[in-house]
Amino acid sequence: MTYIQLSYGDLVLPALLVVMNGVLSIALHLRLEKQLAIATARMFIQLVLVGYVLTFLFATVSPFWTALAAVVMVLFASREIVARQKRRLMGVWTYGLGAACTLMAAGTVTIFSLITQLHPDPWYHPRYALPLLGMILGNTMTGIGLGLDVLTNGLVRERAAVEAHLALGATRYQALLPVIRDALRSGFMPTINGMAAIGLVSLPGMMTGQILAGVEPADAVKYQLLIMFLIAGGTGLGTLAAVIGGGYRLTDHRHRLRLDRISSERTT
């Protein structure tokens, strides 16, 4: 397996394409040049740093450092989940629900694949565990964020319908079911659409990366299929847990709708 190595100097010419975007922004008065410059700088610094971090982690192969890296990734994911919501759960649930569901779903699916399919030695080897977790995490985060957003907005919008159902003696799960269904559909759709379009509309980044690194396309495809199955499982599990958990939090033991547990709509 051979691949063409790049030096940082090799990146100068491609970086000019971003400069070209900046020039376009200035010429067309798009006012995006500052954002573009910050985003490019952030991307560069973050990727270089993560490269050093991964080099350290791969060299040490420590369960502690691997777990710590995984926890940090999950915390950033939960922050992203909250940032994408118009209305948020209050108190410890704001970050807690997203973080717990992301950790449970992405963690379970990653460990499942490491133990049953990949068999690295040791099983938590960061070279396999962290890239897998990262890819599953990104998609799980999107599913959970969308699911919770549709759930909270749906309950506020459909309050009269939910309470009419409750007033007639429905349990909280019966009354919330139409909104929960909508939330689950929204959470699952990006993954389903991604699976349907993959290979035709887009070549996934991981597969492309493996091919560029010298892996046979047929082998890269198998890895990509594994990843897609894991992403589908993780997203389904995480979205289901987050939406059911959100529904549980937004009702109480007396089967009452508790919209007072959502913060008011954010103005952005």
Partner 1 sequence: MLTVETLCRLHVSASFELHSGECIALQGASGVGKSLLLRAIADLDPNEGILKLDGVLRESMPAPVWRKKVTYVAAEPGWWAETVQEHFPAWGEAIPLVGRLGLPVECGTWDIRRLSTGEKQRLGLVRALLLDSRVLLLDEPTSALDGKSTKIVESMIADRASLGTSIIWSTHDGAQAQRVGTRLFVMSGGRIEELPP
Interface positions with partner 1 (CB under 8 A): 158-171, 175, 178, 252, 254-258
The C-alpha atoms of residue 151 and residue 244 are separated, in whole angstroms, by 9
Taking the least distance from each CB to partner 1, the nearer of 183 and 241 is 183
Minimum gap (Å) between residue 186 Cβ and partner 1: 18
Taking the least distance from each CB to partner 1, the nearer of 175 and 220 is 175
Minimum gap (Å) between residue 87 Cβ and partner 1: 19
The C-alpha atoms of residue 229 and residue 94 are separated, in whole angstroms, by 29
Minimum gap (Å) between residue 166 Cβ and partner 1: 6
Taking the least distance from each CB to partner 1, the nearer of 92 and 167 is 167
Taking the least distance from each CB to partner 1, the nearer of 67 and 259 is 259
Minimum gap (Å) between residue 178 Cβ and partner 1: 5
The C-alpha atoms of residue 16 and residue 23 are separated, in whole angstroms, by 10
DSSP state of 115: I
Minimum gap (Å) between residue 181 Cβ and partner 1: 11
Provide the 3-class DSSP secondary structure of residue 247.
helix
Q: What stretches of the chain adopt beta strand conformation (E)?
A: none
The C-alpha atoms of residue 234 and residue 42 are separated, in whole angstroms, by 28
Taking the least distance from each CB to partner 1, the nearer of 111 and 259 is 259
Minimum gap (Å) between residue 261 Cβ and partner 1: 11
Instruction: Write b or e for each residue in 247-261: b if 16 or more Cβ atoms lie within 10 A of its Cβ, otherwise e.
Output: bebbbeeeeebeeeb
Instruction: Extract the tokens encoding 165.
Output: 């159902």
Taking the least distance from each CB to partner 1, the nearer of 80 and 182 is 182
Count CB atoms within 10 A of the CB of residue 100: 17
Count CB atoms within 10 A of the CB of residue 134: 17
The C-alpha atoms of residue 212 and residue 6 are separated, in whole angstroms, by 12
Phi, psi (deg, nearest 5) at residue 202: -140, 150
